[in-house]
Amino acid sequence: MKKLIGALFVGFCLMACVETHADTLVPYGNRLPLVHMNVAGPGFNDRVLPGRNGYDYAFPSSTYLDRWQSRGIRIIRLSVLWERLQPTPEKELDTAYAQGIDKFLTQAAKRNMGVILDIHNYGRYYQKVIGTSDVPLTYYESFMRRVAHRWKDHPGLVGYDLMNEPYGAADAYWPSVAQAGINGVRAADPVKAIYVEGKSWSNALNWPTLNGDLLLLKDPANNLVFSAHMYADVDASGTYQTAIPASFDTDLAVNRVKPFVEWLVRNNRRGQLGEFGVPPDAGYLKAMDRLLTYLHTKCVPLSYWAAGELWGGYPLSIEPDGGKDKPQWAVVGPHVKETNSCP
């Protein structure tokens, strides 16, 4: 589901992605954080490349994570752009952008938090589909190998989200691209979790009919986590451009995510809902509360979309305003410390 970024697990009670290996987030032991937070900033303005740090995009400030640590959040999904991190294919990573990631991972580690690096590129590199002759698989595999080589030993890293929301022409190539990404990561990092999104914006509702071929992916570490996205507006785009319908069903979000969760269970796979967010309308907030309750009974984490210092008046932003919590946090917050019986 496309967001305004540019202009703007799980068999039941299976071990979660971030706890699959005891050395990933030791302080959690065998307990699973069930609420994660998306933090946007380094991936803003993806049509302005490379862009200016602090103007077109920005990394979070040095004390940024204090606000989420104090609220109990322990896992952050940080969106970054391939083009900024590696402006030229099969060449070295950009020094300044990579150092921005270094600093954020260190911020997280110092606060006993972990980061999932999200390659927020929609199955494309400079707007050309990965897997075609314009962007061969070797480019992407090499890139993911470099990413893993640089950060595999960083204590702030939880894992790698291979690609945000492949869609359109990218769908046909996605299984091969995902396997290339897995191969690249495993060439450097034999341990940490790899998050695999699905076709058509990683659509949760249609996941079973679109993504059966992802079951064929091979990971020698057996540490793949499937990550669906879902929103509660009429067209499921996440833009919420029309007013909430008077007849809005507050079970809609649960019903949209069930096909994905049931697919995970049928196939004995682990997963998470990597993006979900709502504007502060009462009906949407109630739907989110029901969704969180449902997912937590199934031991499936949810990563809220979105936090970050650059959002301004973006209606889905959960970023505190002048130190005051947003209405969305009144719903999300009580679920943060829930672990139920999840291992």
Q: Which residues are the active-site residues? A: 165, 275
| Three-state secondary structure call for residue 264 | helix
Cβ–Cβ under 8 Å, residues 260 and 204: yes
What DSSP string describes 227-245? EEE---STTSSS---SPPP
Residue with tokens 């490379």: 50
Residue 117 belongs to what H/E stretch? strand 114-119
State the Cα–Cα distance between residues 292 and 282, nearest whole angstrom.
15
Cβ–Cβ under 8 Å, residues 108 and 115: yes
State the Cα–Cα distance between residues 180 and 219, nearest whole angstrom.
11
Give the DSSP letter of residue 94.
Answer: P
- Sorted by sequence, the CB contacts under 8 Å of residue 95 that are 6+ apart come out as none
Rounded to the nearest 5°, which phi and psi values hold at 118?
A: -105, 115
Residue 276 belongs to what H/E stretch? strand 271-276
